[in-house]
C-alpha cells in the first residue's frame, strides 16, 4: 500500500472535477485526481456532447424533408443510423483530448485511474494508494436513475449511458420520462426515421414554464412523437425487439426498444461517506452555501451535491471552491443566475424565476415583459417564428427570464449576465443589436417593458407637446 499526501484531492474527472484540478494545479497547489471510469465524465461520454451530436444529425435530416418553404424541393432523407452514431462517436473523439489524462498530467496533476473510497475523515483509498489531503473535492457526478419497475430487470433497455452504443435503428423507440433527456432523444429519433412514444407519469417538461413547455410539446407532436402524460408505469414485459410498457391506467404501449429517461441519481455508493463523517440528503451529499460538507475538509460539487444537475453548474461551482480552498477566502455559490436549456426544436431556456415562482415571491410588484418571435425579422426570414421571450421584472430589474424558440439557449446567456450582475432593464434596452439578428429579441423585450411607460404615459405626451411648442 502506497501512502500519498497532497493539497487537493479531487474524486471524479467530470466537468467539475476537471475544472478544480486544472485551476488548482496551475495556481500552484499539489493535486491528485481520481477517476475509475472515463475521463470527461457523463457530459463528454454519455450526456451533453453525444446527445447534441445526435440532435444535429436529426436536424440535418429534418432540414432535407422540410426545405420547400425556402424554394428548395423537399427530399426524403436517406438516414443511416449507424453513420449518425459514428458521427456522435467522432464528435466525442474530437473533444476527448481536452479532458484527457495526458493533458491534465501536463498541468502537473497526478491522475490515478481508480475509484476513491473514504477510509477516515482525512484519508481516501484508491486502489493500492492511501491518500491524505488537506482538502478533498467530491465530484463523482450522477448516473441514470433506473426505477424499480416490475419486469424491467428482465427486459433489455437503454439509458443515456448505453443508447449511443446502438447501431441498428430502432423501429419504435419507447421512452419512459418526458424531461429534457427524454424529449431531446424523442425528437432526434423521430427525425432519424424511428417511431417514438414517450410515457410520462406526471407532465412533460414539468419543471419548466407551462406555457413555454406547451410549445415544445406541441412541436414534437406535430413531428409525430406520441407523448402520453399522467401515465405511471406499472410493468415492463417482453423481449429484445418486442417490448411492452403497461401503465397503472391499464394502457399498453408496444415498441422495439426501450429507453429509460426517468431522472438521475447521485454517485455516492462507492464513497463510504460514513467513514468520513459526511452527511447526505435524499438527493446527494449535503453541503452548505460554500459547498462544504459536514466534514469541513471535504467539498462536494456538481450532480453529487444533489442540486441543479448541469455541467455548467459544476464548472461554476469549481470556481467557488478554488477561491475558498486555495486562498482561504469566503466564497458562496448562488443559483439565481444559473441558466438551463433543453435542446429540442424549438429550444427552451430559463434563468432565475419562472412566472409562477415570481408571482408567488413578489406578488403585485411583478411586471411581465414579453416579445414574440414572429415580430423578429430574422426569425421571419428563417421561418423560425414559433416562440416568445418573457422577462419577469421587479422594480426595474429582471428576476427571471423564460425563452422558447430558435436559439433560446444562446439568447439566455445575456440574461444570466444580467442576473449575475444585478443589471436593470434600462441597461438591456441601451444595448444595440446588429440587424437583423435573433439576438435582437433580448433588446426588444426590454423595449416592451418600457413601451407603456413612454407611449401610454399622458405626462410624457404633455411634456413632449410643451417642448415642441417652445423649442426654436
- Helices (H), strands (E): how many in the chain? 15, 21
Separation in Å, CA 330 to CA 29, 344, 400: 18, 39, 27
Average pLDDT of the chain? Answer: 94
Q: Is the pLDDT of residue 462 over 90?
A: no
Element (H, E) at 371: strand 366-372
What per-residue confidence (pLDDT) applies to 285? Answer: 96
Beta-bridge partners for 435: none
Please name which of 313, 355, 320, 311 lies closest in space to residue 335, comparing C-alpha atoms: 313
Of 431, 451, 442, residue with least CA distance to 379: 442
Residues 135-171 pLDDT 10s? 999 999 999 999 999 999 999 999 999 999 999 999 9
Find where cell 427525425 sits. Answer: 191
Query: How far from chain centre, in Å, is Cα 114?
Result: 27
Q: Mean of the pLDDT values across residues 191-203?
A: 98
For strand 242-247 and strand 388-394, is the pairing parallel, antiparallel, or unpaired? unpaired
Closest residue by Cα to residue 284 from 264, 262, 268, 269: 268
Enter the CATH code of domain 152-263. Answer: 3.50.50.60
Domains 2-39+100-144+265-327 and 339-455 share a fold: no
Cell of 402: 423564460
Position 459 confidence tier, pLDDT thresholds 50, 70, 90:
low
Confidence of residue 451 (pLDDT cuts 50, 70, 90): confident
For the chain, what are the domain ranges? 2-39+100-144+265-327, 152-263, 339-455
Cis-peptide, bond into residue 436, ω within 30° of zero: yes
Superfamily of 2-39+100-144+265-327 according to CATH: FAD/NAD(P)-binding domain (3.50.50.60)
- The CATH H-level (homologous superfamily) assignment of domain 339-455 is FAD/NAD-linked reductase, C-terminal dimerisation domain (3.30.390.30)
Q: What would the pLDDT profile of 104-129 be if each residue is shown by its tens digit?
A: 999 999 999 999 999 999 999 999 99
pLDDT band of residue 328 (cuts 50, 70, 90) is confident
Split at pLDDT 50, 70, 90, the class of 213 is very high
Q: Give residue 307's Cα distance to chain centre.
A: 12
pLDDT at 404 over 60: yes
Looking at residue 343, its pLDDT comes to 97
Instruction: Give the three cell numbers for residue 415.
Output: 440574461
How far is residue 424 CA from its own chain's centroid?
Answer: 26
pLDDT of residue 456: 62
Beta bridge partners of 34: 11, 112
C-alpha cell at 351: 434563468
Please report how many Cα atoms fall inside a 13 Å half-sphere around the Cα of residue 305, on the Cβ side.
Answer: 28
Sign of CA dihedral 310, 311, 312, 315: positive
Calculate Rg over the CA atoms of the chain.
25
Q: How confident is the model at residue 460 (pLDDT cuts 50, 70, 90)?
A: low
Q: Is the pLDDT of residue 455 over 60?
A: no
Amino acid at each position: 500500500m502506497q501512502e500519498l499526501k497532497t493539497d487537493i484531492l479531487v474524486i471524479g474527472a467530470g466537468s467539475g472535477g476537471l475544472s478544480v484540478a486544472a485551476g488548482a494545479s496551475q495556481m500552484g497547489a499539489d493535486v491528485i485526481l481520481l477517476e475509475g471510469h472515463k475521463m470527461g465524465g457523463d457530459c463528454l461520454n454519455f450526456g451533453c456532447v453525444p446527445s447534441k451530436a445526435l440532435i444535429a444529425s436529426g436536424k440535418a435530416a429534418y432540414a432535407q424533408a422540410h426545405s420547400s418553404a425556402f424554394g428548395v424541393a423537399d427530399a426524403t432523407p436517406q438516414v443511416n443510423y449507424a453513420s449518425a452514431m459514428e458521427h456522435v462517436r467522432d464528435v466525442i473523439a474530437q473533444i476527448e483530448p481536452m479532458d484527457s489524462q495526458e493533458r491534465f498530467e501536463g498541468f502537473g496533476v497526478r491522475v490515478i485511474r481508480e475509484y476513491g473510497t473514504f477510509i477516515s475523515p482525512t484519508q481516501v483509498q484508491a486502489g493500492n494508494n492511501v491518500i491524505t489531503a488537506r482538502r478533498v473535492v467530491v465530484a463523482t457526478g450522477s448516473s441514470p436513475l433506473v426505477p424499480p419497475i416490475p419486469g424491467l430487470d428482465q427486459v433489455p433497455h437503454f439509458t443515456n449511458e448505453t443508447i449511443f452504443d446502438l447501431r441498428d435503428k430502432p423501429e419504435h423507440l419507447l421512452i419512459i420520462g418526458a424531461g429534457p433527456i427524454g424529449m431531446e432523444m424523442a425528437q432526434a429519433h423521430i427525425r432519424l426515421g424511428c417511431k417514438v412514444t414517450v410515457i410520462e407519469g406526471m407532465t412533460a417538461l414539468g419543471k419548466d414554464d407551462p406555457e413555454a413547455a406547451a410549445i415544445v410539446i406541441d412541436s414534437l407532436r406535430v413531428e409525430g412523437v406520441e407523448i402520453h402524460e399522467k401515465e405511471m408505469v406499472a410493468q415492463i414485459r417482453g423481449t429484445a425487439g418486442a417490448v411492452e410498457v403497461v401503465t397503472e391506467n391499464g394502457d399498453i404501449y408496444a415498441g422495439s426498444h426501450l429507453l429509460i429517461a426517468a431522472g438521475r441519481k447521485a454517485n455516492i455508493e462507492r464513497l463510504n461517506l460514513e467513514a468520513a463523517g459526511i452527511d447526505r440528503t435524499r438527493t446527494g451529499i449535503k453541503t452548505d452555501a460554500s459547498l462544504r460538507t459536514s466534514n469541513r475538509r471535504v467539498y462536494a460539487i456538481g450532480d453529487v451535491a444533489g442540486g441543479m444537475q448541469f455541467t455548467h453548474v459544476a464548472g461554476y461551482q469549481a470556481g467557488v471552491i478554488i477561491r475558498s480552498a486555495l486562498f482561504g477566502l469566503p466564497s458562496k455559490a448562488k443559483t439565481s443566475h444559473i441558466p438551463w436549456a433543453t435542446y429540442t426544436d424549438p429550444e427552451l431556456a430559463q434563468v432565475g424565476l419562472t412566472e409562477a415562482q415570481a408571482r408567488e415571491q413578489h406578488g403585485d410588484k411583478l411586471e411581465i415583459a414579453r416579445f414574440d418571435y414572429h415580430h423578429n425579422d430574422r426569425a421571419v426570414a428563417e421561418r423560425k417564428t414559433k416562440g416568445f421571450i418573457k422577462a419577469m421584472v421587479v422594480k426595474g430589474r429582471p428576476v427571471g427570464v423564460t425563452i422558447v424558440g430558435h436559439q433560446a439557449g444562446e439568447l439566455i446567456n445575456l440574461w444570466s449576465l444580467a442576473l449575475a450582475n444585478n443589471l436593470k432593464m434600462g441597461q438591456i434596452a441601451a444595448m444595440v443589436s446588429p440587424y437583423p439578428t435573433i439576438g435582437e429579441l433580448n433588446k426588444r423585450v426590454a423595449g416592451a417593458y418600457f413601451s407603456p411607460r413612454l407611449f401610454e404615459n399622458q405626462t410624457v405626451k404633455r411634456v413632449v407637446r410643451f417642448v415642441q411648442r417652445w423649442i426654436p
